[in-house]
Amino acid sequence: MTNNRTSKILTPDICVIGAGSGGLSVAAAAAAFGVEVVLIEKGKMGGDCLNYGCVPSKALIAAGKAAQTFRSSDKFGIAEHEPQVDFSKVSDHVHDVIATIAPHDSVERFEGLGVHVIQSAGEFVSPDTVKADEQLIKARRFVVATGSRAAVPPIPGLAQTPYLTNETLFELKQRPDHLVIIGAGPIGLEMAQAHRRLGSCVTVIEAMRPLSMADPEHADLVIQKLKTEGVVIHANTNVSHVEKSETGIKVSISVDGQGESAIEGTHLLIAAGRTANVASLGLEAAKIEYSGRGIKTDQGLRTTNKRVYAIGDVTGGPQFTHAAGAQAALVIRSILFRMPINQNSIVMPAVTYTEPEIGQIGLSEEQAREQLGDKLKVLTADYSGNDRALTEGKGQGQVKLLSNPKGQLIGASIVGPGAGEQIGLLTVMISKKMKLGALLGVVFPYPTLNEVIRKAALAYYADAPKNPWVRRILAFLRKLG
């Protein structure tokens, strides 16, 4: 790579814009093969996941679980009581976790790997050139991995009202007395439960069905659990106006256009989806098509400028850290080894980290029924029949497996303890197009939660003993002695 100080032109093999999980994965992998890489990041290294998303939210959720343990120990013969929560120390825990992970994503580490890191905004000035920090970068290939940010809905009064997003929520040092959340997707409900467990009053407002992307039966189990813990949830409810009030904020709501009512709280969190970070990238100059949803890519993750790839949230696809990582691996195969890739080949699991958790993979029951109709087999097993779940007092939950007539697993949903871990096994099965029979030869340790999955799979063969051909074969074999 040349660096002419007069022209300030860098000519790496790959230029990556965005140092979130996807961009860092591309840069690290390319550098490991000795490829020259320029990495551009205008914000914090590690992107949204490390600083404002997955890491701090899961750290806060863990604190909430620890607090909830004190309230739910009576069933084990241990006196339950209300925990004393020091929210400032909870905040310290969250930021300590971020600080522990940060060196892995740091400028120093990536420069040590041989990556040229530019801490500045990057902008295309032509189809083959990006400008950053007064330097021009002419790379053989570019990868745009700028992620997404919290979408801010056009609610009247919101611009004049103080509100939080995931980028500011974790800066709170004092516990919100009453947190009002607009949006009941995974982020909204995860934060609702965590804050409620840490002692806040919490109200959630959702324009549609809460957890609308989850299996309806499984979503209902989570919603009922949150309500039992004291979270107030207003489903199918419109927000007509927000404003500042003496206590903090006031949210006016209505259901089906009926009369309005008001909710007063101390803090307002906007968790109503995500918006791709496409502004100020100079995409027009690069001849890259995009919309409010994100950058347009083909199945090979290339944009309309074939020199440029886009991965992660900025494409408007699945907004998961693991999705960006999987796409990064594909891009490396394409750029370095000229191998054909297809992003549609990725089987993408999703997890909602409430308690109980929801893990999903493959087709939903509704999607599978549209394809197969009455030929779809829906197999279930409840956690109430699992010895490990019962020993831990966590018998609420269900595994639901979806099978085609050939016994091949095409979709699954799990709601219950450890769902996020267990969905990994089913992800392997769907990725490899395995049949449910593959689980029959697997011995799971006793007692473990994975036995629920095996029990659900066994249900596929529940009718086998009644099959007249099976009975005839058995009768014939008995005659042989």
What is the rounded CA–CA span in Å between residue 452 and residue 382? 7
* Tokens 């995009």 found at: 290
Is pTM beyond 0.85 here? yes
Q: What is the pLDDT of residue 205?
A: 98
Q: Provide the annotated binding site.
A: 58, 122, 146-148, 183-190, 206, 273, 313
What is the average per-residue pLDDT within 157-163?
Answer: 97
Residue 182 tokens, joined: 């607009």
Q: Provide the annotated binding site for NAD(+).
A: 183-190, 206, 273
Q: Are 439 and 454 in contact (CB under 8 A)?
A: yes
What is the average per-residue pLDDT within 333-346?
Answer: 95
What is the rounded CA–CA span in Å between residue 311 and residue 327? 6
- Starting at the edge strand found earlier in the chain, the sheet holding 141-144 runs 116-118, 37-40, 14-17, 141-144, 308-310
Pairing of β 238-244 and β 249-254: antiparallel
Res. 173: pLDDT tops 60: yes
Q: What is the pLDDT of residue 473?
A: 75
Res. 262: pLDDT tops 80: yes
**Backbone phi, then psi, for 66, in 5-degree steps?**
-60, -40
Report CA Rg, the chain.
25
Tell which residue, 357, 220, 214, 206, has the closest CA to residue 272.
Answer: 206
The β-bridge partners of 84 are: none
Q: Provide the annotated binding site for FAD.
A: 58, 122, 146-148, 313
Element (H, E) at 402: strand 398-403
Q: Model confidence at 475, in pLDDT bands (50, 70, 90)?
A: confident
**193 vs 477 pLDDT, higher one:** 193
How many CB atoms within 10 Å of residue 174?
10
Q: What is the pLDDT of residue 8?
A: 73
Question: Strand, coil or helix: what is 425?
Answer: helix
Signed CA dihedral, 362, 188, 316, 40: sign only: negative
- pLDDT per residue as tens digits for the range 407-466: 999 999 999 999 999 999 999 999 999 999 999 888 999 999 999 999 999 988 876 666
How would you class 379 by CB atoms within 10 Å of its CB: exposed for 0-12, middle for 13-18, buried for 19 or more? buried
What is the rounded CA–CA span in Å between residue 387 and residue 404? 29
**Backbone phi, then psi, for 373, in 5-degree steps?**
60, -130
**Backbone phi, then psi, for 458, in 5-degree steps?**
-65, -25
What is the rounded CA–CA span in Å between residue 321 and residue 323? 5
Q: What is the pLDDT of residue 6?
A: 39
Res. 38: pLDDT tops 90: yes
Helix intervals (H) in 33-135: 47-51, 54-71, 87-101, 107-112
Largest CA distance in the chain: 93
- Which residues does 299 contact at the CB level (< 8 Å), separation at least 6? 341, 342, 343, 344
How would you class 74 by CB atoms within 10 Å of its CB: exposed for 0-12, middle for 13-18, buried for 19 or more? exposed
**Percent of residues, the chain, with pLDDT higher than 90:** 90
- Which residues does 49 contact at the CB level (< 8 Å), separation at least 6? 20, 21, 55, 321
- Which residues does 100 contact at the CB level (< 8 Å), separation at least 6? none
Domains observed in the chain = 7-45+106-150+275-345 (3.50.50.60), 158-272 (3.50.50.60), 356-461 (3.30.390.30)
Residue 327 tokens, joined: 């796409």
